[in-house]
Amino acid sequence: MSIEELSKVFLRKDQSDGTNFLLKFGEFIDSMVAGKGAGIFPDGRMQLSRLEVRDSLTVLELIFNRLSAMESDYSFSESGTIESVSQLEDGTYSLKMKKRWDNDFTALAENDVVYGVVNDLTSGGGKYYTSWLRVLHVDISANTINAVMYPDSEVPG
């Protein structure tokens, strides 16, 4: 066989190359439970026993197949990060919600009870506070909510 014919059969080590077939390393067995070796599939999947990343890992979706048990305080609801807070003349608050992606908007609704944890770490205080609020109005286009804060006597802790 000539070099040109061989280059159609074998992967090159001295320049970029590709394959439409499964690329195996070691004694590859395709199984999440009993697998071994490593494999890169034509559809982009990769299966291996261990992945070490020195700098960063960027993923679109990260899936953990694990059972979880929970105790203590957990919130299973819409959530978000407050970008800025303005106190209005009537004593209520306007909360600008941070967009997590371009088309993100708050899914909170009128009369939702929400709470947030605030800290004063940037001023060197090291204290945490929990604030409870009731949503009065939602402006989806501006990604803001107007809310009234509950008094300390009406909230937990």
- pLDDT above 70 for 10: yes
Predicted confidence (pLDDT) per residue in 129-146, tens digit: 888 999 999 999 999 999
User: How far, CA to CA in Å, does 4 sit from each of 18, 42, 81?
Assistant: 15, 24, 58
Distance CA 29, CA 75 (A): 41
Is-contact 93 139, C-beta < 8 A? Answer: no
Domain boundaries, the chain: 3-47, 82-154
Q: Three-class SS of residue 37?
A: strand
- Tokens of residue 95, six digits: 């909360």
9 membership: H or E segment, kind and range: helix 3-9
Average pLDDT value for residue range 79-91: 92
